Amino acid sequence: MVKTIGIIGAMDLEIELLRDNMKLISKENIAGFNYCIGRIEGKNVILTCCGVGKVNAACCTQILIDRFKVDYIINSGIAGGLHKEVKICDLVISDNVTYHDVRKNQMRSCFPFKEYFEGDKYLIDVAIKACEITKKENYHVGRIVSGEYFVSDKNIKNNIIEEYNPHCVEMEGAAIGHVAYLNKIPFVVIRSISDNADNDANMDYDTFEKISAEVSAKLVLNMIDMI
Ligand code: ADE
């Protein structure tokens, strides 16, 4: 069976390289999201940009699943580094994703009764192999946390690290993983580090957002080739 891969980026710059490498067949706009239907590396791909934040990400992901029947979901983009070994422009592959702005107890006790959502083993494996084949050494497999705000404060950063022990922070991955889990669709989040989520985060972000978005998109291109 020919598989269809759904790729989501939050911002245009996070999907630019992928769109440049896409043989576009058609386009659809649903609920304000643009879905590019085409082929990348000879594979069927639906590429979309969900906008910033968890609700946008969740809505866009559900449409990707319902309307386009994707078999896999990959979220590509940038993130703030939280782990001491994670440096700017490094890659993080999601072992699992969760929210840093929802209490663990609520996650456990409310539907769908999950404290976190696990990345798909096969997709994680493909991502690791893609790093190794392209000799990208600075990659990490770990937890990615999402929340409704840009983290640029050392104290907030330290509180998140203490509670969740994550590798990086962003604003969509857990919502995408959550919706993928509900629909039983394998997913993985790939992020490259644009800043350290500290008091210099805004400055670093401006310098590195484009470079790190490309680092992530390049890995996803190689992954698509291998799926
Ligand atoms: N995306 C990139 N950097 C981030 C940060 N510091 N906080 C939240 N999302 C991000």
pLDDT in tens, 116-168: 999 999 999 999 999 999 988 899 999 999 999 999 999 999 999 999 999 99
Q: Of the residues 78, 86, 101, 203, which should be mutated to test ligand 1's pocket, given the most ligand atoms within 8 Å of the CB?
A: 78
- Separation of 80 CA from ligand 1 center, angstroms? 4
How far is 224 from 98, CA to CA, in rounded Å? 25
pLDDT given at position 137: 87
Interval 203-217: pLDDT, tens: 999 999 999 999 999
Domains, the chain, ordered by start: 4-226 (3.40.50.1580)
Size (the chain), residues? 227
How far is 134 from 104, CA to CA, in rounded Å? 37
pLDDT given at position 67: 98
**Both tokens of residue 33?**
């999201």
- Separation of 56 CA from ligand 1 center, angstroms? 16
pLDDT at 112 over 90: yes
Q: What is the pTM of this model?
A: 0.98
Segments of the chain assigned E as strands: 4-9, 23-30, 33-40, 43-49, 72-81, 91-99, 117-118, 139-146, 168-170, 187-195
How far is 167 from 144, CA to CA, in rounded Å? 6
In this structure, the residues whose C-beta lies within 6 A of any atom of ligand 1 are 78-80, 150-152, 169-171, 194-195, 197, 201, 205
- Separation of 85 CA from ligand 1 center, angstroms? 17
